[in-house]
Structure 1
Amino acid sequence: MRPLWKAVILIALLAAALAAPIGQKGYVVYVLSSWLIFVIAAMGLNLTLGYAGQISLAQASFMAIGAYITALLTLAGWHWLVAMPLALVACFAVGLVLGYPALRVKGHFLAFVTLAFNTLVFLVLRNEDWLTGGSYGLQGMPRPHFGPVSTDKPLAFYYFTLAITVVAALALWGIVRSPWGRAFRGLRENPIRAESLGLDTRRVTLLAFAIGSAYGGLAGTLIAPLVQFIEPGSFGLAHSLRILLMVVVGGSGAFFGPFVGAAVVILLPEVLRFTEGYYLIIYSGLVIVMFVFMPSGLMGIAERLGQMVRGKRVRADMAEGAQLK
């Protein structure tokens, strides 16, 4: 997709996100805030899986690390702006360590390693109740205040989350367009060839895991003040699979894939609630149909349509040139 079209899509998404909660009730604003938070988590997994080709089933565990660090520090009186960077550093460091198994195992073996890590984090959070509250969790996390500006109201917190999402998206845009982004894609396409061309695949693999984990931690720092109650079950394997579904549905390796995928996974079930007891059946059926007929995700369809349009233009230009001759 051309950079101009990416910029147009980004502006359109931003305009839609700014207008979406206007006039809506609290629950709708809450769902939209959840969508933005999961977009951030999916952006991190998209970098690790879509761009670098390293599968991970542990993204929810990094959301948990970010959420619990933020919750503990803000409950102790620290400001969110202080707690958030500490949570990101912690997730980056843990992701760096988790990346080491990726240097030796690949594919479904790596998926099992990250799955085990997700289970380990869940068990630690549940059993170390002296720190995490165990199964009772933590509650009452304050929403951040910035001088006279408060994010206590749902709409204010939504726009605060939107601002963080935009910054995270711009940072990811810079990463994927940098030499590091090209290195990630080289690692995904052909690791042996990339290493033969002088790429340090060990460092690139570790960095892909670390940055993707930091994005998961950033999502966790926002989910804690949004729901103001967290417990270990909120970050189990099912949530890691949901984030993976967002990446695959949106289009693995597509920059806007997490936005679309998170909308399908978070917003579509809410839209289908008018069908009452059938909405989950309809939702599941739509996802299955999409996987059968659109294996490259929704953004893959847009890419193919763009290629078809460009192909028609090229053929038209060639035909016009032949007529002139």
Structure 2
Amino acid sequence: MSLTQLHAPATAVERPRFRAWPELNNPAAWLVALILLIMPLIASGFFLIEIFGTTLILGIIALSLMFLAGYGGMVSLMQLTIAGFAGYMVAVFGVSGNANISLGWPWWLATPMALVLATIFGTLGGALAVRTEGIYTIMITLAIGAAFYYFTNQNWAIFNGHTGINTVATPHVLGIDWRSDIPFYYLILAVAALCYFAVQYVSRAPFGLALQGVRDNARRMAALGFNVNAHRVAAYAFASFIAGLGGVLQVWNYRQISPGSVGVERCIDILIIAVVGGITRPIGPFIGALIFVILRTFALDVLIKFGLDGNRFRLLIGLGFLAIVFWSSDGVIGLWERWRRRQARSPSSTAGSRHG
């Protein structure tokens, strides 16, 4: 689709429709969906929450980065900071074990307030970041993340300093404790699915197509009459809301939040997750998150078994990151598609050699 077509009013053909989405015609996608739905029947509580639940939560946060980088060409290192901000707001406005800090609002008031404030926070940060390009955008978003970490670590009146806020209350609706393993897993899965399809929809909507045009050639899009900065700031707002959802689920998962949850190294982890999985497809962040969580969970035991420091699991993650980026610029998805193309070519080449 050309940039001129992007500028034209959206028609019925241009509007994204579910029946036109190739993902829904892929049998492998339906198989994955079925496995995720029946996961509580085949996985223990540990695997259900600590592996698959955590994977989906980190995947949601990394999905917000993928949207900005893949469709907008903007690499943001403050997506985990936005998620942490939403988690802190849930703890501050809601109910927790720190009664002198938390305001005691019910979850159905504290959660929307946290999401609104996190979206505003991310939008303001994005408004600063879009005034720069390239490495300067990365540095500004990283500076915002570092500043928020030190602010939470040193502020005791609102964030309770380095101790953080503990025993955060979780939702109870219709007599169901939504933090118990199975209900919480399905809650995470539902939010992850909504975020995934929302990103897919927006990427094919007129706004998403225009954003991709801005990514490819901002000057030409401005010449066509598009407000480049407005599109970029709106992209930050949308991505911030997604990151905020991940932050709310994260604070409900651990029932506490502290400055360690929003450290600079955690911000970089989100970038690694998105890049390893694939920065150009919405499914990529979830693949990267699964790889990251498995390495983080089981590499510790393997390293300790061989008498090595368990913290060196980050070395394994770093080596894997370098290997994947070296062999594929689009992460695991790129490697998979390269392998499929090679497999598709091999039968024809074999048949051609036989006929020759």
Do both share a fold (TM > 0.5)? yes
Q: Which moved more, 1:264-273 or 1:172-181?
A: 264-273
The answer on whether the counterparts of 1:45 and 1:244 sit within 8 Å (CA) in structure 2 is yes
Partner in structure 1 of residue 57 of structure 2 = 37
1:7, CA displacement in angstroms? 5.0
Partner in structure 2 of residue 62 of structure 1 = 82
1:272, CA displacement in angstroms? 4.2
Matches within 5 A, 1:64-83: 64-75=84-95, 76-83=103-110
1:286 is aligned, of 320, 330, 345, to 320
Change (3 A) 1:101 1:310: farther
The answer on whether the counterparts of 1:67 and 1:224 sit within 8 Å (CA) in structure 2 is yes
1:15 is aligned, of 34, 41, 57, to 34
Partner in structure 1 of residue 262 of structure 2 = 235
Matches within 5 A, 1:126-137: 126-137=153-164
Secondary structure of residue in 1 paired with 2:287: helix
Partner in structure 1 of residue 4 of structure 2 = none
The answer on whether the counterparts of 1:51 and 1:185 sit within 8 Å (CA) in structure 2 is yes
Q: Distance in 2 between matches of 1:143 and 1:124?
A: 25
Matches within 5 A, 1:45-56: 45-56=65-76
Change (3 A) 1:45 1:123: same
Partner in structure 1 of residue 210 of structure 2 = 183
Partner in structure 1 of residue 223 of structure 2 = 196
Q: Which moved more, 1:219-228 or 1:90-99?
A: 90-99
Secondary structure of residue in 2 paired with 1:198: coil
Partner in structure 2 of residue 253 of structure 1 = 280
1:164, CA displacement in angstroms? 1.4
Q: Distance in 2 between matches of 1:190 and 1:306?
A: 31
Unaligned 5+ segments in structure 2 are 1-19, 96-102, 307-311
1:172 is aligned, of 199, 209, 223, to 199
1:265, CA displacement in angstroms? 1.2
Q: Which moved more, 1:144-153 or 1:59-68?
A: 144-153
Unaligned 5+ segments in structure 1 are 320-325
Change (3 A) 1:6 1:303: farther
1:243, CA displacement in angstroms? 0.6
TM-score, L = length of structure 2:
0.81
Flag as ranges the 4+ runs of structure 1 deviating above 4 A. Answer: 271-274, 305-313
The answer on whether the counterparts of 1:42 and 1:243 sit within 8 Å (CA) in structure 2 is yes
Change (3 A) 1:276 1:4: same
Change (3 A) 1:127 1:36: same
1:94 is aligned, of 121, 125, 128, to 121
1:101, CA displacement in angstroms? 2.5
1:237, CA displacement in angstroms? 0.9
Change (3 A) 1:204 1:309: farther
Look up the equivalent residue of 2:67 and give its one-letter code: L
Spell out, residue by residue over 1:287-320, the C-alpha distance to the aligned partner (whole angstroms, 9 max, x if none). Answer: 322121122211123344555677789x89xx9x
Which structure dedicates a bigger proportion of its chain to helix?
1
Partner in structure 2 of residue 4 of structure 1 = 22
Matched, 1:298 2:332: yes
Q: Distance in 2 between matches of 1:192 and 1:224?
A: 41
Matched, 1:28 2:47: yes
Q: CA RMSD in A?
A: 2.5
Q: Which moved more, 1:59-68 or 1:26-35?
A: 26-35
Secondary structure of residue in 2 paired with 1:99: helix
Change (3 A) 1:283 1:104: closer
Partner in structure 1 of residue 139 of structure 2 = 112
Change (3 A) 1:254 1:134: same
Change (3 A) 1:11 1:167: same
1:74, CA displacement in angstroms? 2.2
1:96, CA displacement in angstroms? 1.8
1:275, CA displacement in angstroms? 2.5
The answer on whether the counterparts of 1:87 and 1:218 sit within 8 Å (CA) in structure 2 is no
Partner in structure 1 of residue 232 of structure 2 = 205
Look up the equivalent residue of 1:65 and give its one-letter code: F
Kindly indicate whether structure 1 or structure 2 has the higher relative contact order, using CA contacts under 8 Å at least 6 residues apart: 1
Spell out, residue by residue over 1:27-59, the C-alpha distance to the aligned partner (whole angstroms, 9 max, x if none). Answer: 322322111111110111111111101111111
Look up the equivalent residue of 2:48 and give its one-letter code: V
Q: Distance in 2 between matches of 1:143 and 1:244?
A: 28
The answer on whether the counterparts of 1:84 and 1:218 sit within 8 Å (CA) in structure 2 is no
1:100, CA displacement in angstroms? 2.2
Partner in structure 2 of residue 216 of structure 1 = 243
Number of positions where the alignment pairs a residue of Structure 1 with one of Structure 2: 315
1:271, CA displacement in angstroms? 4.5
Change (3 A) 1:118 1:273: closer
